[in-house]
Amino acid sequence: MSEKWQLHVSPGAENDPVFIGVGEIPSGKFPERGFIQQLTKVALLAIKDAGMVPADIDTIILIPNLHSVADQADLVFSRMVEELGIHGTCKSSYMVHSGGSTSDNATRAAHALITAGHAHNVLVLQSERWGSADLNEMITMLSKNGIPGEWELPTGIQFNAIGAMITRRYMHASGSTPAEMASVCVTLRNWANLNENAMFYHKPLTVEQILASRMVADPLHAYECPPMADGACAFVMTSTGNAKKRGISNAVRVAGTGGCVSHYCLSQERDQAVLGWPVAAERAWEQSGWGPQDADFCEIYDSYAAVTTIALEGLGICPVGEGARWFAEGHGNPGGKLPMNTNGGLLSAGHTGVGGGTALLVEGIRQLLHRAPSKRQIENCQRAIIGGSGGSYMDAQVLLLERTKLGA
């Protein structure tokens, strides 16, 4: 019998970790913005949003970039400690990496450090310059990195092809039409039109436009593939006890987490229309004590529409096979019954590499702190589902977050 999954910290306990601040800058193509400049900007924004100053940060967890080995080396070797002026006082600076699910695992790392007393105030940082990077180099990177060299690379597999195969399998299993799949992208664009930081802010999109765009990897059209973007975001975590001492009355806590690593080679995934989501979800629900019917909104990884519809079904938000039709019926739209990817997601806010999932997490925290702009703030939201996936959708990672009142 498997051991019961549980968090070894009680809600409201002094060492219960909470999110208290976020920072973000616009995503898109910004060649004039430097990599470290982006990181420093979002770090200061998140620290200020948390009611802190840089000297309060004792631990930095870095989320890697994909555009430059040299820039990544600067992160590994703690450059941001000096940029923030906390060299000599910062206890630790290190990197976590699991592709698109990195923010989920960075949260777990910060959570564990705070719970155990190894850290007090943790800053998680992400920056990417995919939109301004050399396009040929990025195409080469996405055609080789994470593709099994022995078995799949010789066949010409690259990430759009992986997205296409998952989409084709899902469409076959669910009976979803091209128009229903395209409706996922339309929902995300509707949210991006409310987000001034989104790459495609104020740029409407229709199902007809999507289906008329060029075919990239059958059945994926150009407007169904993620646009590479520059961007950066950050968040701050501390303990409930520290937050109370600072006079913070409302924060966001982790109610449960669940994960499942289902494969490395896509060919070893037993069912590409399911992936690891049902297992990850069951583990998360077990920890939290609440279920999909209790969530006010979702922020689920969406590099391709099928990735999100598969997750939606695995999480129990809609019946198996109905994910694309759920979107087509408008349930994830602004004003829908369960708002989905309220920043516009990777497909419309912009794919910032490993940071695409981080941006979704930051948006979830922002919503639960009730700090989103009024035009997209979900009224009185209390609970959220965050989902990430990395590599060739090798894993499914779930964070269940809830707003918490800290009191005096």
Give the CA dihedral 93, 402, 315, 232, nearest 10 degrees: -40
Instruction: Note the pLDDT of residue 1.
Output: 34
Whether this model's pTM surpasses 0.85? yes
Instruction: Note the pLDDT of residue 156.
Output: 85
For the stretch 128-154, what's the b/e string if a residue is b when 16 or more beta carbons lie within 10 angstroms of its beta carbon? bbbbbbeeeebeebbeeebbbeeebee
Structure tokens at 214: 């060029």
Express the helix, strand and coil content of the chain in percent, nearest 5 each. Answer: 40, 20, 40
Q: HEC string of 261-328?
A: ECCCCHHHCCCCCCCCHHHHHHHHHHHHCCCHHHCCEEEECCCCHHHHHHHHHHCCCCCCCCHHHHHH
- Give tens-digit pLDDT for 122-138: 999 999 999 999 988 98
Q: What are phi and psi of 20, to 5 degrees?
A: -130, -5
Task: Please state whether beta strands 92-95 and 250-261 pair in parallel, antiparallel, or not at all (unpaired).
Answer: unpaired
| Residue located via tokens 């938000």 | 317
Domains of the chain, each with CATH number or no CATH:
17-132+229-245 (3.40.47.10)
Q: Give me the average pLDDT of each 10-residue run along the chain (408 residues).
A: 69 94 98 97 98 98 95 95 97 96 97 97 97 90 85 88 96 98 98 98 97 98 97 98 96 97 92 97 95 98 98 98 98 98 98 96 98 97 97 96 88
